[in-house]
Amino acid sequence: MKAEQIRALSNNEELLKKLAEAHEELFNLRFRLATRQLTNYHEITGVKKRIARIKTILRERELGIK
């Protein structure tokens, strides 16, 4: 999910829902990594970046930055 797509979400509740989903996905990827079932390790970095984007946009909205 790109930053423009995240900014297009109308309210913070949707962003918080997406953030929770991303955290759950990261947990599942780490679990698969620990059990040696994960083949594409780059998925972890992608999810971490998505979490960072969502948190950044939430903070921008909190501060009133466009």
Query: Which domains does the chain carry?
Result: 3-63 (1.10.287.310)
Residue 65 CB: number of other CB atoms within 10 A?
Answer: 9
Amino acid identity of 12? Answer: N
**pLDDT, tens digit, for every residue of 5-30?**
888 887 889 999 999 999 999 999 99
**pLDDT, tens digit, for every residue of 51-63?**
999 999 999 999 9
Handedness of CA 11, 13, 56, 41 (dihedral sign): negative
Rounded to two decimals, what is the model's pTM? 0.89
Whole-number pLDDT of residue 11 = 87
What is the spatial distance between Cα 18 and Cα 22, in angstroms, rounded to a whole number? 6
